[in-house]
Amino acid sequence: MYTLSYYKALLAGLKKKYPNNGEIFKDIGRECLEYLVLFLKPFSSEKLKSVRYNRILKLYYDVFGKFFPSLNIINPIIELSVKKKRGKKDKLLLKFTDSEFLEDSNDFIYHFYISAGIIEAIWKREVNKNVKCNIEKIFISEKRENSFIELSIEIDSS
């Protein structure tokens, strides 16, 4: 519990000092991967190359699950959709709620940007292809259970 409290305090301090720099924190997330290698299990490049949405969800859980102490593995996603974009890109949209990082302020949202950068770095390391993981929307409510984040993962399926 102390580690989570310390991490949230660090996130809040960073948010106050650098209020509109989410993309910089994605960069930081990408750089963090080499230090997190002991905590994140290796992925099979072959499995990731043949993109299947259940594999993307596994990647999502493997990454985000490590950084969300209260992530409800059974049913954290309240909406999942897949959109085809122009060309050969697929965009997976995830919308989830009930996170300790979505409490009654936006002080902790850089957590999501850092995690998005980690997902991009894992994909690049394992498959040697780029993937874009973006924070599409963050809604903070006074009630934690009403707050949500929408995250997209855009994959080149060629």
Please name the residues in contact with 129: beta carbons below 8 A apart, sequence gap of 6 or more: 49, 123, 155, 156
* 56 vs 46, more confident: 56
What pLDDT score does 102 carry? 83
- Out of 3.40.50.1980, 3.40.50.150, 3.50.50.60, 3.30.1380.20, which CATH number does the structure's domain 2-156 have? 3.30.1380.20
What is the pTM (predicted TM-score) of this model? Answer: 0.77
Q: How far apart are CA 71 and CA 55, in angstroms?
A: 18
Give me the residue spans of the domains in the chain.
2-156
Q: State the pLDDT confidence band at 17, using cuts at 50, 70 and 90.
A: very high
Give the tens place of pLDDT for each residue, 53-93.
555 666 666 665 655 555 554 445 556 666 666 666 677 88
